[in-house]
Amino acid sequence: MVLEIQQLLPTYFSSAIGGQSDIWLKDLRIEKGDLIEIVAPSGSGKTSLIHFLYGMRADYNGKIMYDQKDIRPFDHETLAHYRKAHISVVFQDMRLFNGQTVRQNIEIKRQLAPFHEKEMIGEMASQLGITEKLDALCGTCSYGEQQRIAIIRSLMQPFDILLLDEPFSHLDIKNSEKAMTLILGEATKRKATIVFADLERTAFYPYTKLFHL
C-alpha cells in the first residue's frame, strides 16, 4: 500500500510552520515496505498526525491518500475495513480495556481479523517478558507492561501500514530493543510500512526515510 500526503496541515496550525517541517505542507510519497521515522518535539502535532493517518480525525487541510484513495470521504464502514485489514496502530495512550485481562485485550484484536493463531499471543508475551501477566487485568499492569501489551495487540492483525506513536516511552533500552525486534520481524512478514513517531531519533530503528516534524 502506497501512502501519499499532500499539503497536509492541521487546521489549528499557521501555514508559517510549513517552512520548518519536513511533513506539514509538503508532498510526500511513502512506498510499501518503507521504514519511516518522524522526529517530533512536543507541540509539533505528532499525535495529531498519527490520528489523521488512522482516520480518527479530519481537522486538517490537504489530503491523505492510500493507494490513490483520499481517506477523508470514507464512511465509517470503509474506515473500519481499512483499520481491520490494512492499518494497525500503537497509540501513545495505549487505549486498553483495563477491566479485561491482558490476554482478552490481545485476543479481541486477533479475533477481529486473524493473522496469527492464538498460540502466538503466548510466544510474543514471552519475547517481551510479560507471560506472567496474561491472565491479570490490564488495569493492574504497569505503564511499561501496558505498552508491551499494546504492541502485541497491534501485531495480531494483518496490516500494510503500522503506525507507532511513542511506543517505547515507558520502556528501558533493553525492552525497547526487544519490542522493536518483534515489530520489525512482523512488518517483514507482511512486507509492511512502519510510520514511527517519537520525540527523538531512535538509534536501533533502521529507518529508510527520516522526517522532522
Question: What pLDDT digit, counting tens, does each position of 33-73 carry?
Answer: 999 999 999 989 999 999 999 999 999 999 999 999 999 99
pTM: 0.96
- E strands, the chain, are 3-10, 27-30, 35-39, 60-66, 69-70, 87-90, 161-165, 193-198, 209-212
Using alpha carbons only, what angle is made at residue 150 by residues 149 and 152, rounded to the nearest 5 degrees?
65
Average pLDDT, the chain: 96
pLDDT for residue 112:
87
| Maximal CA-CA distance, the chain | 51
Q: What integer is the mean pLDDT of 4-19?
A: 92
Q: Please report the domains of the chain, with CATH numbers, ordered by start residue.
A: 32-46+76-212 (3.40.50.300)
The CA–CA distances, whole Å, from 54 to 85, 87, 91 equal 12, 7, 10
**DSSP secondary structure letter of residue 15:** G
